[in-house]
Amino acid sequence: MPRLTRWYIKSALLYFIAANTLGVLLVLPTGLRRLPAVHILSPVYVHLLVVGWLTQLIFGVVWWMFPVWSRERPHGHEKLGWATYALLNTGLLIRAVAEPAVALGNTRIPAGALVLSALLQLLAAVAFVANTWGRVRAR
């Protein structure tokens, strides 16, 4: 299993645990759910589950299992693969912190952090597609 795949899958597993832990907090008895911070974490829960768990798991398996790009570059451009990993995770972590902070009116974290997180994740998506497109072909 390639090193980048291991990083994607291990990160996905950590996000899976984090998302499910947050999911438990969101369904605790009503008294605890009245805390504003818990309700505000609903989008973070979904984002950790969809981007952190599912997307990273898919990216890792695609990097590993899709047909080879070439003999010299079996998985495509390695540096672009690592850049994709960094962009996706940086964007996700910024969003996980910024979204509830902005929703609570925390002025120390600007709303621009959400825009930055979205742009980083968009760049990760474009980089992933660019690095994967040539591997989607008939045998």
Segment 6-19, tens digit of pLDDT: 999 999 999 999 99
Specify the pLDDT at position 43.
93
Tell me how crowded residue 53 is: count the other CB atoms within 10 A of its CB.
Answer: 21
What integer is the mean pLDDT of 104-123? 89
Containing structural domain, residue 84: 3-135
User: In the structure, what pLDDT confidence band is assigned to residue 85 with cuts at 50, 70 and 90?
Assistant: very high
Structural domains of the chain, count: 1
Segment 25-73, tens digit of pLDDT: 888 766 565 666 677 889 999 999 999 999 999 999 999 998 788 888 8
Whether the Cβ atoms of residue 99 and residue 43 lie closer than 8 Å to each other: yes
> DSSP E strands: which ranges in the chain?
none
| Helices and strands, number each (H, E), in the chain | 7, 0
Comparing 20-24, 95-99, 133-137, the range with the smallest average pLDDT is 133-137
